[in-house]
Amino acid sequence: MAKEAGPVPLNVLDHWIAIGVPVTSFGGIGVSLILWYTGILSEAGQFVWGSVISSFLLAILAYRLPRLDIVALLAPAYAIIILVVPMEFTPTLLLQVVFAVSMTILLARLLIRFRIPGKDAGAMIMKDFLNSYIERIRPHYCDIGAETAHEVASAFLSFKFGLYPNATHDAKNALALLGPGTDHAPLKTALALIGERASRLENSDFSPITETLFSPADHEDLALDLSAEDIDDEPSLALDNALILLYAVSLMASDEDQQALNEHQRFIVQLLGTYRNLLDI
C-alpha cells in the first residue's frame, strides 16, 4: 500500500541555508558587540548586516520549498525597512535580538508547515511525471494502429465506468488486433489483466488476480516500477500499472478518444500520487 505524502526532506544545500538563518542573525549580534567593544562602532546596534543576510537566506529557503510562505519571502523587505533605511532612530542591539528571534521563529514555521506539498503542487508534479512516462514509452508503441488504440481506450474507459462486460469484450478485441508474438508484451499483459479483472467483477468476484502479472521484462514500460521491499500488494500494483499503461497508450495513439481520456487524466494523476513517496519524487 502506498504511503501518504509527508514533509519533503531537505537536501544538503537547504540544510546549510536553514542553519545559516540563526547563525547569521545571532552571529551578526556578536560581530556588532565586538565592533562596539573595540571602538569601531559608537553604538552596539549599528552593525545590522547579519540580520539582513539572515532575512535573505530565509527568503531563499522559502522559495525552494514546495509551498511558498509569503511572510518568509518578504523577510528581506522587512529587514531593509526596519534596519537599513534611514529613520529617526538608530537600530539598537535589543532590536536586533528581537529580529533574530523572529527570524528563528519564522524558520521553524517554514520547516514545519511549508515542507508538505499542497494538493495543487503535488498534482502538478505527478502530471509532469505522467507526461514524462508517456514520452518514455512512446517509441515502444508508435506503431499501434488507430483501431487497436481505440479498443485499448475503450477497455480502459469501460473499466473506469464500471461497464465490466464491455471492458472484457474490448480487452479481448484489442488483444486480437495486437496478434500473437512478443511484440507489445506489457500492453498485452495489461489488457489480459484488465479483462480478467472486469470478468470477475461482473460476477461479483473481488478476489485478486494472481495468475496474470507483469514479467520482469515488462517493467521497462511500467509507470510504477517499485523495489520488492516497497510492494505490499502485488496484484493491486499490477492492476494500477495496467490501468496507467492502457491510459498512456490510448492517449498517444487514439485520436478519436482524446476528449474522453483527457477527462480522466485527474484519475490517473491521483492514482500515481498515491505512490509518490515510493517513487521518491
Are the C-beta atoms of residues 99 and 25 closer than 8 Å to each other? yes
Q: Which three cell numbers stand for residue 277?
A: 513517496
Stated pTM of the model: 0.60
Q: Which pLDDT belongs to residue 138?
A: 93
pLDDT on residue 117: 60
What 99-102 contacts at long range (C-beta under 8 Å, 24+ apart), as own/partner pairs, is 99/25, 99/51, 100/22, 100/25, 100/26, 100/28, 100/29, 100/51, 100/54
| The amino acid at 28 | G
SS3 66: coil
User: pLDDT, tens digit, for every residue of 62-113?
Assistant: 988 877 889 999 999 999 988 888 666 778 889 899 999 999 999 999 988 8
Give, for 85, the enclosing helix (H) or strand (E).
Answer: none
Nearest to 269 by CA among 136, 116, 125, 159: 125
- Contacts for 25 with CB less than 8 Å, ≥ 6 apart: 50, 51, 54, 96, 99, 100, 103, 104
Estimate to the nearest angstrom the gap between the alpha carbon of 252 and the chain centroid.
23
pLDDT tens digits for range 219-249: 999 999 888 888 888 889 999 999 999 999 9
**Positions of the chain with pLDDT lower than 50, given as ranges:** 1-5
Which residues, 6+ apart, have CB-to-CB distance to 147 below 8 Å?
177
- The predicted structure's pLDDT at residue 197: 93
Cβ neighbours for 62, distance < 8 A, ≥ 6 positions apart: 68, 69, 72, 73, 75, 110, 114
